[in-house]
Amino acid sequence: MFSLQRSLPPWLRHKPKLRNTLYGGLVVISALVLLRIAASSLSSTPSFSFPGADPHVTSSEWNSRAERVKEAFLHAYHGYEKYASPEDELRPVTNEGMSGYNGWGATAFDSLDTMLLMGLQDEYESALKVVKAANFNVSRFAGGQVPYFETVIRYLGGLLSAYALSNDTTLLQRAESLADAIDPVFKTPSGLAAFAQYNLGMQHTLAEFASFQVEYTYLAKASGKKKYMDRVNKLNEIFRKTNLQGSGGMLATFWDTAGHPRDSANKVSVGAQADSTHEYLLKQFLLTGKTDKFNLELYLKATAYIITNMLYLSPNRGLLYVTDTAVPLWTDSLAGSPSHVFEHLSCFFPGLLALGAHTLPLNDLESLGINLSSLFTGSTSELYSTLKDYDLKQLHLWAAEGLAQTCWLTYADQQSGLGPDEVMMLAPASSREWDPQLERWRQVGESSLWINAMDKWKKSGGRGPMPGVSDKPPVIWTEEDRAAKRPNRRDYHVRKAGYLLRPETVESFYLLWRATGDVKWRNRGWTVFEAIERETKTGSGYVTLKDVRLKPAVRGNSMPSFFLAETLKYLYLLFKEDDILPIDQWVFNTEAHPVPVFEWTAEERQRFNIV
């Protein structure tokens, strides 16, 4: 048997005082080493290993990565310019143009501010020729209609952002001309914007009619013209009159032409048809120098309901996700009836929560004149009871990090390294069934709502990992695994396998990086960019994918304009060392077009009837 005493030289064995001194020194050194290791592990961010996860990337290397994104943008725009301009978008496999958004050159409009931020003056001057030549009175969309939502966020947003960055008044004039040309879209019984200028009889979906506030508010400020703010004020007036008790304080998704939430088959969601409206509640408050208190209150109500009733944990991996749910009014339950579909579009939401936690005094809302206990009344008072003992800022950040982690894993789990458009989460241990005797829905089994798991964790004194927030390794489940009937341990099935070059996941990475300073969001963004380069690049641009589960992935034949406006812009800003657009000084519209925060003058408040 090994013995330290016997291994010592004879001269030291017979000198106990010297020997004891040596032992004591070794103990002290060992203790210091252990303390150093422990301190290092406590101060570092827990993370699993994945390609590109080096936390010690230098500043110059990050700037070099931003330059790589700029090169990708140039490759994409030059391909569009060569093969598609002045059509709206490029088909990067067959090298031809396509027009689905009026035929005015959507990619040129959408790219203006990205070019300015990247310092691409030659490309900017070239794009301006397309912008100046566009005829806003003639649309090549179906039946000559103008799709209002897409026109506002891509064209109007692009013009206003480029104006804000360049101070070129020609762009402001073009923005006014566009807003005036599409103004007939408001000629509806309610005054709400219809989907298209010449199709005014359709039902309204929330995102379609209520995602123009940021653009029109900034246009009113920049132009000094009241008529643009009147459109925003009318929307706020309709929302003020709407009883939201039946939808948990949230704005429902489907509305009738009279300006009321539809009374059957409705839902609440942060995904398709609703996402950008909830986004604009916070951003309208921030844009106006934190003065639009009404929209802030709507944001607080919406996030309270989402956090307590729409966030779920998957049964095995504990993935945190947000899903749409039937409006509670029609299910006789505050939590409604969840679909457990998790959309890529919903991956903007963690970034929104991070932005709110970064810019709002969530634990001191009384400093803004808001009392939470009086904000939640009637059926929504339960929301306040659930949240009142939490550190609200910390809770929003936890939710943001957990949701963004799941968005990341839907990428990392795929062989291609890119995320599918929709997944269906495995049914949780809890389910709901209709009780014919009670004539109401009832819960079966334990609830998988995240807030319930958080309550248990909180009551335990925070023992163990926080539910849904801790980092998790990817789980690759291939087509070969499925054919061999091996178990799917990812906790979800891919519902829509395509990758549409969407920005939402990297948008949230960018906002979380700026809000928390955690480098893992940059590292994950770089891994996503490498996958985009590897899987989607063509000789003329970048292409959508039909199935991300395969490697190489099956390709489509389109390059949406938002890839240049949003995806590449957010990646560029994520890697750029200089914070060129501080998130407390600029507000991004839902197409990633930034406009500056401002304050109304007393004269403007009176002239524009701003409450």
Nearest CA to 296 out of 230, 234, 226, 372 is that of 372
Chain centre to alpha carbon of residue 335: 23
* Radius of gyration in angstroms for the set of CA atoms belonging to the chain, rounded to a whole number: 27
The answer to whether 304 and 387 are in contact (CB under 8 A) is: yes
Residues with Cβ < 8 Å from 522, sequence gap 6 or more?
57, 62, 509, 513, 574, 575
389-517-579-589 Cα dihedral, nearest 10 degrees: -50
Whole-angstrom distance, CA of residue 65 vs CA of residue 448: 40
Whole-angstrom distance, CA of residue 543 vs CA of residue 330: 41
3-class DSSP state for residue 384?
helix
3-class DSSP state for residue 431?
strand
Q: Hey, what are 408's tokens?
A: 């990341």
443-444-450-451 Cα dihedral, nearest 10 degrees: 40
Whole-angstrom distance, CA of residue 285 vs CA of residue 292: 5
**Segment (H or E) for 479:** helix 479-483
Whole-angstrom distance, CA of residue 57 vs CA of residue 47: 15
Q: How many other CB atoms are there within 10 angstroms of residue 438's CB atom?
A: 9
DSSP codes, 304-337: HHHHHHTEEE-TTT--EEE--EE-GGGTTSTT-E
The answer to whether 521 and 512 are in contact (CB under 8 A) is: yes
Q: Hey, what are 494's tokens?
A: 């891919």
The answer to whether 526 and 506 are in contact (CB under 8 A) is: no
DSSP codes, 182-213: TGGGG-SSSSPPPSBTTB-SSPEEHHHHSS-H
Residues with Cβ < 8 Å from 273, sequence gap 6 or more?
205, 206, 207, 208, 253, 254
Q: Hey, what are 348's tokens?
A: 């903007």
Whole-angstrom distance, CA of residue 583 vs CA of residue 591: 15
Whole-angstrom distance, CA of residue 175 vs CA of residue 215: 10
3-class DSSP state for residue 15?
coil
Q: How many other CB atoms are there within 10 angstroms of residue 124's CB atom?
A: 22
Whole-angstrom distance, CA of residue 588 vs CA of residue 157: 9
347-353-358-361 Cα dihedral, nearest 10 degrees: 170
Q: How many other CB atoms are there within 10 angstroms of residue 443's CB atom?
A: 12
**Does residue 590 have a known ligand-binding role?**
yes
Q: Hey, what are 400's tokens?
A: 């943001």
41-42-48-50 Cα dihedral, nearest 10 degrees: -70
Instruction: Give me the residue label for tokens 């391909």.
Output: 79
Annotated binding site for Ca(2+): 590
Annotated binding site: 590
